[in-house]
Amino acid sequence: MSLDLEIARFNMVEQQIRPWEVLDPRVLDACTNVHRELFVPDGYRNLAFSDTCIALGHGQFMMSPKVEGRVLQALAIEPGDRILEIGTGSGFLTALLATLGAHVTSIEYFDDLAERAKSSLRRAGISNTKLHVGDGLDGWPTAEPYDVIVATGSCPARRPSIEQQLSINGRLFLVRGIAPVMEAILVTRLAKDTWTTESLFETELAPLIGAETKAEFEF
């Protein structure tokens, strides 16, 4: 590993992620130890550690490093957690989730992105993941319940169909709203029919495929 890469990785953590109030040592260690450059498309390798969203094709983007850090910290992932990721994308967040939890089931709409992510995860030595190609807009009930669910695209409103797949005390990260007004929220399932919602920060993400036309009733 080149010294320049290690310096860039260190600067990403210390100058982007930590200043955004990401202080959980397990999250910072994961962002340091999982090599982001393995997951960035070839034409964008020079931007691997930049404070920017990187294009993946099909109108999809990698989150910026600081947002990835905030997502992970908010979810407070435990080593035994079973995780669902809706929108595999590059596979980098998948790798971070897998580093912190027990197992990740990840759903990707586009075949080519899924294949690229699988290859990147293999290169990174991440094996506790299962990737599926499909429509995750309503979650992935075949392996529920999940302790943690992450949607990597936005929805106009909360999605009860996904929230029902949480275990008791399970946490869901979702960005809701319509550009340019979106907020990241954490939904926690306290009991069979009881959820709490915490507003985390403002951000903007591309919608999940189909989210614009399949928005469910907000409650």
For the chain, give every domain's residue range.
3-202
- Of the two residues 143 and 213, the one the predictor is more confident about is 143
Type of residue numbered 148: V
Q: How confident is the model at residue 2 (pLDDT cuts 50, 70, 90)?
A: confident
pLDDT digits over 21-35, tens only? 999 999 999 999 999
Residue 219 has pLDDT above 50, yes or no: no
* CATH value of 3-202 in 3.90.180.10, 3.90.1150.10, 3.40.50.150, 3.40.50.720: 3.40.50.150
Work out the average pLDDT over 32-46. Answer: 94
Residue 190: Cβ within 10 Å count: 11
pLDDT digits over 139-158, tens only? 999 999 999 999 999 999 99
Burial (0-12, 13-18, 19+ Cβ within 10 Å), 134: exposed
Q: Which residues contact 189 (CB under 8 A, 6 or more apart)?
A: 163, 166, 167, 168, 169, 170, 171, 172, 195
